[in-house]
Amino acid sequence: MKVAVLISGTGTNLQALIDHTIDPKVGSCAEIALVISNIPGVKGLERAEKAGIPTKVIRHKEFKSRVEFDMKVHETLASAGIEFICLAGFMRILSGEFVRKWHGRLINVHPSLLPSFKGMNAHKLVLEAGVRVTGCSVHFVVEEVDAGAIIVQEAVPVCPGDTIETLQERVKGAEHKAYPRALELIASNALKLGDDGRIMWLNSD
Ligand SMILES: Nc1nc2ccc(CNc3ccc(C(=O)NCCCC(=O)O)cc3)cc2c(=O)[nH]1
Ligand SMILES: N[C@@H]1O[C@H](COP(=O)(O)O)[C@@H](O)[C@H]1O
């Protein structure tokens, strides 16, 4: 399954997906065939280049509208024969039109236990709420932000004295296990997004 990873920054989740898909012990049928960033010069692009994965920068600032940016991204994905998209620290909201075109073939990792703490500053909200357990969620992407069906979650303790930085680092450690696991469930046809918008587990035989 030809997978594209969309990034905007450091790309540690991209790295985890790369390491997973090239691991001969895993024998994954997911292959990362393209990495697209909306920001030039980010570390995630270096990670892809080091792994010999084609990269493309599509600057959202160069487009008059969100939809035109999304269309360029879609065309780039289609011409590369991409079958599945992983968002990994991609910080642009995608238009409903794009999300509909990739319905069931587009997932994201969010740094909280959804449906709690949606949006951009999950770790800050977690600390302010004083919860003792947080975590990460890998979910299908739907038009409503951070609201799609959840595929995998992993819990992470909140420790006394945690800051946004210490929390983010601990949660990322969980993301790097959860994301490859979620991609493998999909690539191995263990589950898919049902027409009712909920996870459908496919029989193993
Ligand atoms: N339609 C749809 N698209 C998404 C795009 C990215 C992410 C990743 N998580 C994200 C969640 C929130 C944001 C956000 O609010 N950014 C500030 C505004 C930036 C902008 O103007 O674009 C970005 C990524 C999730 C979604 C999603 O759940 N649904
Ligand atoms: N969506 C959020 O953005 C961050 C991306 O980090 P990286 O994968 O670029 O290191 C991760 O914490 C992820 O949960």
Residue 173 binned pLDDT confidence (cut-offs 50, 70, 90): very high
Please choose, from the candidates 43, 47, 21, the residue with its C-alpha nearest in 3D space to the C-alpha of residue 32. 21
pLDDT at 205 over 80: no
Output the pTM of the full model: 0.97
For ligand 2, say whether the CB of 88 is within 6 Å of any of its atoms. yes
The residue written with tokens 């360029």 in the block is: 72
Query: How high is the pLDDT of residue 203?
Result: 75
pLDDT at 204 over 80: no
**Contact present, 37 and 59 (Cβ < 8 Å):** no
ipTM: 0.96
Note if 20 is an active site residue: no
Write the pLDDT tens digit of every residue in 14-29: 999 999 999 999 999 9
**Contact present, 18 and 32 (Cβ < 8 Å):** yes
- The string of DSSP codes covering 56-83 is EE--GGGSSSHHHHHHHHHHHHHHTT--
Closest CA to ligand 1's atom 9: 91
Indicate which atom in ligand 1 lies nearest the CA of residue 139.
28
pLDDT at 9 over 80: yes
**Contact present, 30 and 8 (Cβ < 8 Å):** no
